[in-house]
Amino acid sequence: MALKGLDIFKLTPKSNCKECGFPTCMAFSMKVAQGAVDIAKCPHMSDDAKAQLSEATAPPMKSLTIGTGDAEYKLGGETVLYRHEKTFVSRDIFAVTVDADNFDEKWAEVSKVDYDRIGERMYVELLDLEFTGDVDKYAELAEKAKATGRAIVIDTTDKDAARKALEVCADTKPLLNGANADNMDDFVAMAQEFKVLLGVQGTDLDSIYDNVKAVEGKGFKDIVIDLGTVSVKSAFENAVQVRRAALKGGDRTMGYPSIVNVAKLAPGDLHMQQALASLFTVKYGSIVVLENLTYPMALPLFGLRQNIYTDPQKPMTVEPGIYPINGADENSICCTTVDFALTYFVVSGELERSGVPINMIISDAGGYSVLTAWAAGKLSAGSISKFIAENGIDEKIKNHTLIIPGKVAVLKGELEQKLPDWKIVVAPNEATDLVKFLKDYSAANA
């Protein structure tokens, strides 16, 4: 018999439920209340009860997606204000503004920013299409943007331009960002017709709230809140107040992802835009739009984002393997350290500065720092020698000189026993001393 309302929480235990996999209905109910299980897994509940419970247990901020295929990104779904409380769910994504006149030049620069860092691809995810007054050119711009394979933001308050662009690229699931009090009916109708996200704007926080409420009243809830471009102060206040109202105040009218256009907050000043992008990466832009994002700006910005949107209880690690530095080959010396990403980047940076060709051997050390890994038994003579044997490093590299971290110099004797064909050398305790050490060692053994 179908259950009504929230009666699932009043059920008596029922063993061996084949449908949900839980031993009792109470156990299933507790997992639903924690948000760990989808209520739809229970076949005994009415659709009305499922709808009520789904809404009650949903995150205070709605989860949405923009784009399709490889260019699909999750927005929202956040449950905490501060990363250390739990973790952030959906990383912010970066967009670059393009228009009909500068598209080719901008795309040539933007497409060069595409690299991997600790197993994550770093690149500009979205193109923000600015409308410059010509509807036909705007449609052509949308066609060009679609051909890049990147997700798209249709950035205009002009209903004719918006429709032209949507007719071209609606199948890529873009964000239509431009709904306000003046054009709301038209923009909501287009968002419903083309099944895309709708960016809602306002002159201040009160008008943003009223406009979001009005859009919801029309039965549309795939909303992204535009934080505004009146001033940096206003945009930042809006970002914090919107997130706080949703997560702490329980106001679901503010429970949507956001977009902030720092290109309009600091036009022409790329350095200020980078600073603002960093600010809104931490608090709390879901989509951050810049005027441009080239290598000098991209490296620290992507690094910050990766640090913020990583589970603080799970350290970032690099993939175990052999990493040639400074053009190292089979005849170059070797060194080893742990797989903790911070250690890897600090050490590899100093190795690169030395200019000495060297093969960096990284084994699985559990994501710990050097001394912590050694104390936990994750970095030992046994683990290092086992990694070398299992990966055939003896055969791959002819130069059997292995430099180990100075802080685990105690491993030298045991490593010499386990690797009798290798020469074990102890490095300095600090990474900053590696440059001089390697240059001196290379000169002495030339």
CA-to-CA distance for 365 and 296, rounded, in angstroms?
32
Instruction: Verify that 290 and 420 share a domain, yes or no.
Output: no
How far is residue 84's CA from residue 312's CA, in Å, rounded to a whole number?
7
* Same domain, residue pair 79 and 187: yes
In the chain, what percentage of residues exceed pLDDT 90? 76
Contact 227, 254 (CB under 8 A): no
**CATH number of the domain residue 14 falls in:** 1.10.15.40
Look up residue 328 and give its two tokens: 């190292």
H-helix segments, 124-200? 135-147, 159-169, 184-194
For residue range 327-376, what is the model confidence (pLDDT) as tens digits?
Answer: 999 999 999 999 998 899 899 999 999 999 999 999 999 888 999 999 99
Question: Count of alpha carbons within 13 Å of 384, Cβ hemisphere only?
Answer: 28
Residue at 314 is within a domain = no
Distance CA 217, CA 233 (A): 30
434: helix, strand or coil: helix
pLDDT tens for 150-166 read 999 999 999 999 999 99
Q: What is the 3-state secondary structure (H, E, C) of 337-376?
A: ECCEHHHHHHHHHHHHHHCCCEEEEECCCCCCCHHHHHHC
Q: Is the dihedral of CA 242, 84, 79, 288 positive or negative?
A: positive
Closest CA to 139 of 160, 125, 124, 157: 160
Question: What is the pTM (predicted TM-score) of this model?
Answer: 0.78
Give mean pLDDT, residues 293-313.
86
Confidence band of 1 (pLDDT split at 50, 70, 90): very low
My answer on whether 37 and 68 are in the same domain is no
Q: For residue 176, what is the domain's CATH number?
A: 3.20.20.20
Q: Are residues 238 and 101 in the same domain?
A: yes
Looking at mean pLDDT, say which of 78-92, 169-183, 314-328 comes out highest. Answer: 169-183
Sheet holding 333-337, edge to edge: 321-325, 358-362, 333-337, 401-404, 423-426
The answer as to whether 2 is a domain residue is no
Number of domains, the chain: 3
Is 55 a residue whose pLDDT tops 70?
A: no
Percent residues over pLDDT 70 in the chain: 89
Q: Locate 114 and state its tokens.
A: 């595409």
Can you state the angle between helices 295-308 and 270-282, rounded to 10 degrees? 10
Residue 10 has pLDDT above 60, yes or no: no
Determine the length of the chain: 446
Amino acid at 376: A
Quick one: 279 and 357 in the same domain?
no
Domain match, 376 and 234 both: no
- Whose CA is closest to 409, among 369, 381, 437, 388? 381
> What CATH number does residue 343 fall under?
3.40.50.11600
Q: Is residue 339 part of a domain?
A: yes
Same domain, 364 and 221: no
Do both 199 and 334 map to the same domain? Answer: no
Do 412 and 439 belong to one domain? yes
Confidence at residue 3, expressed as pLDDT on a 0 to 100 scale: 41
Cα–Cα distance for residue pair 31/38, rounded to 1 Å: 9
- The residues near 344 (Cβ < 8 Å, ≥ 6 apart) are 318, 337, 338, 362
- Domain residues for the domain of 12 are 7-57
Beta-carbon contacts of residue 425 (< 8 Å; ≥ 6 apart) = 401, 402, 403, 404, 441
Count of other CB atoms within 10 angstroms of residue 100: 19
How crowded is residue 303: how many other Cβ atoms within 10 Å of its Cβ? 14
**Rounded CA gap, 60 and 256, in Å?**
9
